[in-house]
Amino acid sequence: MAKCCCSNKTKTRTEEEKKGLQNRLSRIEGQIRGINRMIEDDAYCIDVLTQINAVSGALKSLTKIILDEHIRTCVADDVRNGSDDKLNELTATLSKLMY
């Protein structure tokens, strides 16, 4: 279980979960490299913007997956144990994600 670079907290994921998330991230990385090539090749602005929008959608989809898992596991477990720390953390994070 690796620690995040920005937190001392960790999240245990199954190998299947990790592989699914990593596959999505690899596709997003490929899209980003494609956008970089488009810039290098002087691609038309609208075409670049279309690809940027696709990457943005892929990141939003990944965000939803991780958020759903966090609510179903970390937050739910914390609430079941009588604490609202992770619920408070979640509401603060949602506020940042929405604006």
Question: Which domains occur in the chain, in start order?
Answer: 15-98 (1.20.58.1000)
Q: What is the pLDDT of residues 58-91, one digit of tens each?
A: 999 999 999 999 999 999 999 999 999 999 999 9
- Residue 2: the pLDDT is 53
Contact between 14 and 48 (Cβ < 8 Å): no
- What is the C-alpha separation between 90 and 76, in angstroms, rounded? 11
- pTM to 2 decimals? 0.84
CA dist list (Å): 45 to 13, 39, 42, 59, 95: 39, 9, 8, 21, 32
Contacts 24+ apart (CB under 8 A), 56-61: 58/24, 58/27, 58/28, 58/31, 59/28, 61/24
User: Which helix (DSSP H) or strand (DSSP E) does residue 43 occupy?
Assistant: none
Helix (H, G, I), strand (E, B), or coil: what is residue 20? Answer: helix
Q: What is the pLDDT of residues 4-32, one digit of tens each?
A: 555 688 999 999 999 999 999 999 999 99
